[in-house]
Amino acid sequence: MERERRMQQCSHEEGNPRARQASTPVLLTRWLERLGGRRTAYAIQRADGRYRCVHAPLTPTLLAAHLAGRLTLGHYVLDEQDCCCYAVVDADQLDGLQRLVALQQVLAAQGIPTSLEASRRGGHLWLWLAQPTPAIQVRAWLRPLCSPNLELYPKQDTASGYGSLIRLPLGVHRRSGRRYPFLVADGSQRLHPVGGNVYTQLSWWLEQPAAVLPAHLDSVAQTRPEARLPTPPVHAQASYSSPHARATLPARTSPILAWCLARDPLAVIGRYVLLDQHGRGRCPFGWHHHNGQDRHPSFKVFPHTPAGNCWYCYTWGRGGSLFDFFRLLWQVDARTAWQRLQHGGER
């Protein structure tokens, strides 16, 4: 009850004049710069909770209006190069905050700093990135750490159009009419709002350290341009006559990409997925199929692209390399997957 009372107090507080002084143009400009994302569009939340896209740049003035409660902004996570400056894990369940606290502890044990925000149906766990980072790298890093019932932003490896958006913190949710604060745990592990007003909370949030992407994921960026091909390349449709085909290595390549390109994807993936003569089969990643099973073959294997991609699931709308295949198949983080593969784990 005490926690709910304090959250209610924070949700209706607009801030006193002294606190507003902290919301200087410098603070708002810093917020805008740290957000990154799409520079040519933002979204405004409507009364029903949905969003209307505005084809114009996001500005410090708009962020000030968001904090003041005059409007509520949605932010497009990916920029024009499919990079992001932050990631968010969303839990919409009744016990969403508890799930996120557990994840926060797991991430903290790995040296990954996060900020916990309450939401209308659960919570959001925010993670600043040290620099704009390809979404495919961020997802390859964080998705294995999240349970299937948690939603990760960015939602896409590459954006079709503007991509997904998320409501910015500290504004008034138009459907509930409430603000939702950032939360921290006290000595007894109870969650309490950070500060007493939105300006104090914003300052606190912007001071949170950024996470650095693990070095071993650098190679994943090389798969980014082809990661969400709508269809396999034309040359892949009838090129399975040679079971020992090998791709030519580019002039500069990473160890992971080199490992992928040195193997025949049809032969390797064919050990785990029953494929027909055209490289089609049932997707082994059942969690994104109805009732956990791909009943109509939607999985396609094709020869490597120069960036290493060799499979695509039409139902999921996602593809990747041999490395991505094993990482998803084993449901492990990228470091663990690479260690297994180096020791012959694909056999």
Strand order across the 51-54 sheet:
51-54, 42-45, 73-76, 165-167
Q: Which of 33-42, 69-78, 315-324 has the lowest mean pLDDT?
A: 315-324
Domain 2-206 class? alpha beta
Identify whether the C-beta of residue 52 lies closer than 8 Å to the C-beta of residue 71. Answer: no
Q: Which of 218-222, 235-239, 269-273 has the lowest mean pLDDT?
A: 235-239
The tokens of 292 are what?
């956990």
Domain 215-342 class? alpha beta
> What pLDDT was estimated at residue 220?
54
Q: Omega of the bond prior to 214 within 30 degrees of 0, cis?
A: no
What DSSP element (H or E) covers 83?
Answer: strand 83-91
> What pLDDT was estimated at residue 94?
84
> What pLDDT was estimated at residue 130?
92
Amino acid identity, residue 92?
D
Integer angstrom CA distances of residue 335 from 102, 147, 224, 283: 21, 18, 19, 24
* pLDDT (tens digit per residue) in 245-282: 333 444 445 788 889 989 999 999 998 999 988 888 98
**CA-wise closest residue to 299 among 280, 285, 320:** 280
3-state secondary structure of 184: strand
pTM, two decimal places: 0.60
3-state secondary structure of 276: coil
> Above 90 in pLDDT, residue 306?
no
All structural domains of the chain with their residue ranges: 2-206, 215-342
**How many residues does the structure list for the chain?**
347
d(CA 252, CA 249): 8
> What pLDDT was estimated at residue 57?
93
